[in-house]
Amino acid sequence: MKVLILGAGCREHIIANRLAEDSEVYAIMNVLHPGISKISKEYLVVDYSEVGRIKEWIEKREFDVGFVSPDGLLAKGLSDLLKQAGVPIASPLKQAAKLEWHKGYARDLMKKNNIEGVPKYKAVFGIEEALGFIKENKEFVIKPFGLTGGKGVKVKGEHFHSEAEGLEYIKELIDEDEGALLEEKLEGPEFSLQGFSNGRELLFMPPVQDHKRAYEQDIGPNTGGMGSYSTGKLLPFMNEKDLEDGKGIMRKVMEVMRKENNPFVGILYGNFMVTKDGIKLIEFNARFGDPEAMNVLSLLGGSLSSIFLDMCREGELKGEFSEEASLVKYVVPEGYPVKGKKGEEIEIDEKGIKELGCDIYYGSVYSENGKVYTTPSRTAAVVGKGKDLYEVEKRVEKAISFVRGNLFHRKDIGTKELVEKKVEYVKRLKRNLKGF
Ligand code: AMP
Ligand code: GLY
């Protein structure tokens, strides 16, 4: 099979690797990605806004499947472009990806169709409306409607501390954006549930927990995700019902979209919170999570290319996941996420990492004259899997010592201490006790 992939980060690196197991990979990327370029049969390095050049390159070749990976490209309608160029696609069209690129759309769709798990919310377009919501919900969260790489959401008590401070941000969003989404503030640990969708049914992947905060003990600014782990069918702080409820919500959303003639074909990603009142939907993504893709794709048995093919032709989705634990830790440039240092040379001893049974995927880096340099975003991810999460964690830490540069990572992700803290957190929430 000939498979085309768009995107150039860690997530796309593992996708391309898995595709290359039984297919020819063709890649379109905005920078020369050191990993993807190595495994691709052919690639095009291009600014994604050069739609004409992209189309011309695609039309000169024939692909069995195309996959647009990053959210920004889905929101720009690159899947639509592929479709117009005659490529069967396993990623959502722009209108279906609206589930991610417009937070109000996803909320309204759920509410209108009585799908459970929606927090109290209001889309506001003026200050009066905002004041009305805040009066009823003293603890609230402010979200831009659009994509912000996980960094635009502000939570009261964490990112702003008074109503007045919150109103400043809401005003800014009303002035500069079209408005803002306000939500009640929920409490609880989060999990990511991803499913392959052919528009009709979902093949679920194991749940994963990401760590969005930049620093250890879950403090500091939000990031794209500093690392993630999975422990088989369930995460230690969830129960069967949490998982089944999450699956139910995702299935219903997919069904509604199909009925509305806006079928969702691609990776449907639900970000859920385990609260004292059951699970709530925090947001949907229309793509693999990054880092979560590296957890699930390390565990997937069988052919990713075949799943992609079945997704775009409404075929039966077949795939199994090993029930081992998996762990991903990102190394990021000093200063990330506020002002990550760019242009810093990094050195990676891939052999040393492999010898520990771990893998390395390149993120937002570029290569020049055979050397690899940082950009302000996440640099590389080290991935391990095995029977026991805590053993894997120790191995991944050792493997990270083979990545050299002006970088940092979170040492606490996947440790017993942090995992047990989350379990304790849910117990306390369910007993109605405050605090983490
Ligand atoms: P999002 O971009 O919607 O995933 O939000 C980023 C992060 O903000 C989430 O992962 C949560 O940690 C936090 N967050 C979002 N919505 C809420 C909410 N309603 N209550 C509490 N925290 C939230
Ligand atoms: N890891 C969070 C995301 O991909 O949005």
Domain residue limits, the chain? 2-91, 120-184, 190-420
CATH topology for the 120-184 domain? Dna Ligase; domain 1 (3.30.1490)
- Looking at the domain that runs over 2-91, which CATH code has it been given? 3.40.50.20
Q: 3-class SS at 63?
A: coil
HSE-up of 168 (CA within 13 Å, CB side)? 8
Q: Are strands 2-6 and 24-29 parallel, antiparallel or unpaired?
A: parallel
Q: Determine whether the shortest distance from the Cβ of 185 to ligand 1 is under 6 A.
A: yes
65: CA distance to ligand 2 center in Å? Answer: 24
Quick check: CB of 256 below 6 Å from ligand 1?
A: no
Q: Please report the pLDDT score of residue 335 as a whole number.
A: 97
Nearest bound ligand to the CA of residue 10: 2
Is the CB of 183 inside a 6 Å radius of any atom of ligand 1? yes
Cα(153) to centroid(ligand 1), Å = 7
Six-digit token pair at 383? 């991935």
pLDDT tens track, the chain, 436 positions: 999 999 999 999 999 999 999 999 999 999 999 999 999 999 999 999 999 999 999 999 999 999 999 999 999 999 999 999 999 999 999 999 999 999 999 999 999 999 999 999 999 999 999 999 999 999 999 999 988 876 688 999 988 999 999 999 999 999 988 899 999 999 999 999 999 999 999 999 999 999 999 999 999 888 999 999 999 999 999 999 999 999 999 999 999 999 999 999 999 999 999 999 999 999 999 999 999 999 999 999 999 999 999 999 999 999 999 999 999 999 999 999 999 999 999 999 999 999 999 999 999 998 888 899 999 999 999 999 999 999 999 999 999 999 999 999 999 999 999 999 999 999 999 887 655 5
Residue 323: per-residue pLDDT: 96
If phi > 0 it is left, if psi is from -120 to 50 it is alpha, else beta; for residue 86 that is: left
- Same topology between domain 2-91 and domain 190-420: no
Verify whether ligand 1 is closer than 6 Å to residue 280 (CB atom). no
**Nearest in space to 13 (alpha carbons), one of 328, 369, 371:** 328
Ligand 2 pocket, mutate which of 11, 288, 292, 330 (most atoms under 8 A from CB): 292
Residue 234: phi and psi, rounded to 5, are: -130, 160
How far is it, in rounded angstroms, from Cα 89 to Cα 318? 18
Residues 6+ apart with CB under 8 A from 304: 15, 18, 19, 21, 297
What CA–CA distance (Å, rounded) separates 331 from 308?
29
- Does ligand 1 come within 6 angstroms of the Cβ of 182? no
Count helices and strands (H / E) in the chain.
15, 26
Q: Distance, CA 405 to ligand 2 centroid (Å)? A: 25
Residue 375: strand, helix, or coil: coil
CA atoms within 13 A on the CB side of 375: 16
Looking at residue 436, what is its pLDDT? 53
CA 86/CA 81 separation, integer angstroms: 9
Residues 244, 263 contacting (CB under 8 angstroms): no
Q: The pTM is what? A: 0.96
Question: Ligand 2 centroid to 212 CA: how many Å?
Answer: 8
Instruction: Determine whether the shortest distance from the Cβ of 147 to ligand 1 is under 6 A.
Output: no
Nearest CA, atom 3, ligand 1 = 283
Q: Which bound ligand lies closest to the C-alpha atom of 378? A: 2
Residue 257, pLDDT score = 98
Cβ distance 338 to 397 under 8 Å?
no
Specify the CATH superfamily of domain 190-420. Answer: ATP-grasp fold, B domain (3.30.470.20)
How much is the pLDDT for 200? 96
